[in-house]
Every structure is written in structure tokens, then in C-alpha cells.
Structure 1
Amino acid sequence: MIKIKELQLKEDIIEAFPIMNELRSHLDLNSYIELVQEAMEKDMYHLVALYEHGEIAAVIGYKPMITLYYGRFIWVCDLVTKEDKRSNGFGEKLLSFVENWAKKNKYQAVALSSGLQRTEAHRFYEERMTYDRVSFVFKKLI
């Protein structure tokens, strides 16, 4: 049985950490909790989990944004499926959930970035989810 649920309580956010940590391995539990809570409070970040048989199998984090380039859109910050649960359509279900949320809330697009090394993810976004590759993302640590 599949269930999708937005995580808002601290204990639910903590429960999602082991899965999120597969993608965001640089974070320890305390940093993760602090960042998620601050992003929810200040940046309208949403954290959503897909449960399979009562256990979290995948998570997605997203936030609404407005820029002159994209207009009103949703930025997917995080999307990860537990390693032993991949290729079951869970990422597709969560991304579709966000797309439906965007439509319902009158946003025109969903956008995300994906690490250069994640070629399988790129194939998923382009071929399975029909996303267009529109730009490169650049970063400079300061």
C-alpha cells in the first residue's frame, strides 16, 4: 500500500533523515533538522514522503519561487528514493505529486537541478518525466 504525506512534525522529519541522507550525505541529523525547519519557516519548503507498507521509501523537498526567468514555479530541492526501493516508480509518483500541487496552486512550471554525475537521474527526468534540459547551474563557495 502506497501513501504520500507531507511531513511537518519534527519526529516525521527525523524519520525521513536516513533516506534523505542517501542524497545529502554531507548532513548530520542535527544540521538536517535545523535546515529543514528553517527552510519550512522562512522559505515555504515542503517535505513530502512516500510510504510503502508504513515505511518511508522516498522523499521530495520543494518550494514555490518567483523569478523573472521562470515566473511563478516550483523548485524541487531534493528527490531521493531509498536505494533498495529504486525503479519502483516512487520518484515518478512524488514528482507527479509536486506537479499536481503546482497546478492546483497556480504555478506554471516545476524546475530542478541534478548533479552532473547523476546520468541515470537525468535520463529519468528527460525521458520518463519529460523535463527539458534548459540550463547549467553554477556555484561558488564564499
Structure 2
Amino acid sequence: MIKELQSRHEIIAAFPIMKQLRAHLDESTYLDLVEDAQEQDRYKLFALFEANEMVAVIGFKPMITLYYGRFVWVCDLVTDMNKRSNGYGEKLLTYVHQWAEENKYESVALSSGLQRTDAHRFYKDRMGYDRVSYVFKNSLGGE
């Protein structure tokens, strides 16, 4: 079962899994960021449940840019480290593809850390993604 996480309780319940991808976040910062992103940036957080246990989460937001047009940006995708290689990531990403099509978005895009070679293989070989750009970041304020 795939379910959108909207209440504070549901969002907090996803933190132990999300922390496996976003290790730099504590629970309070995570909750603040998710709530702000939901309110200001149309961020959506979904979880996949297997036998009533949360096993994977995905966060995404619909966007419009001149480069991609109308698209969905996948911000976060993580399967619990003890539940990997069961197709959960594929199920969640396929769900987002369907959500995007139903809501008249033209594509789905994401970025992946340079060191995540297994994830890159998954996106390219299993999910049919093309590598179309590099993502650059400039941390402001000396960070």
C-alpha cells in the first residue's frame, strides 16, 4: 500500500527511514523542513507499506521550469536499509510516474549523489532515466 503522509505523526513516523538518506538532519529540523516544503513548495511525501510496516519513502514536488517544462522533481527516495532489493524503490518511483501523468506533467527528474553508483544503475538501467546534466551547488554563508 502507498499512502501520502500529511499529519505530523505520519511525517515523524517516516523519519527513521528518511534519516538513512538524510543523515545530517535531526527529527526537529526534518519536521520543520517537510512542513515548510509542503506549505510553500507543494512537496508531497509518500510511504510504501508492506504488511502494515513502512518500508520506503519518497518525497517529490511538481514544478515548472523553462528547461524541463512541467515536471515532477523527486527530492528524496529511500528504502529502509534492512528491506532493500525487494523492488520497493521501483514501486514508489513508478507511483510518482503515474501521479505525474495523471496530473499532466511531462517528465520526472531527480539528482543523485556522485558516490551513489548503485542508485545510478537503478535509475538508468532499471527505471529508464537518462543522465541529462550535472547539478552544481554553492553553499551561501560560508557553509
Normalising by structure 2, we get a TM-score of: 0.97
Identity %: 66
How does 1:62-101 map onto structure 2 within 5 Å?
62-101=60-99
**Shift in Å at residue 55 of structure 1?**
1.1
* Paired letter, 1:79: L
State the partner residue of 2:2. 4
Say which SS state the counterpart of residue 74 (structure 2) adopts: strand
Count of aligned pairs: 140
**Shift in Å at residue 4 of structure 1?**
0.5
Say which SS state the counterpart of residue 25 (structure 2) adopts: coil
Give RMSD over aligned pairs.
Answer: 0.3
State the partner residue of 2:100. 102
* Paired letter, 1:56: M
State the partner residue of 1:19. 17
State the partner residue of 2:131. 133
Q: Runs of 5+ in structure 1 lacking a partner?
A: none
Q: Runs of 5+ in structure 2 lacking a partner?
A: none
Give per-residue Cα distances to partners, 1:98-135, cap 9 Å, x unaligned: 00000000000000000000000000000000000000
Normalising by structure 1, we get a TM-score of: 0.98
Say which SS state the counterpart of residue 66 (structure 1) adopts: strand
Give per-residue Cα distances to partners, 1:5-53, cap 9 Å, x unaligned: 0000110000000000000000000000000000000000000000111
Say which SS state the counterpart of residue 122 (structure 2) adopts: helix
* Paired letter, 1:88: N
Write the distance in 1 (CA, Å) between the matches of 2:38 and 2:54.
Answer: 20
Write the distance in 1 (CA, Å) between the matches of 2:55 and 2:40.
Answer: 27
How does 1:36-55 map onto structure 2 within 5 Å?
36-55=34-53
Write the distance in 2 (CA, Å) between the matches of 1:97 and 1:136.
Answer: 25
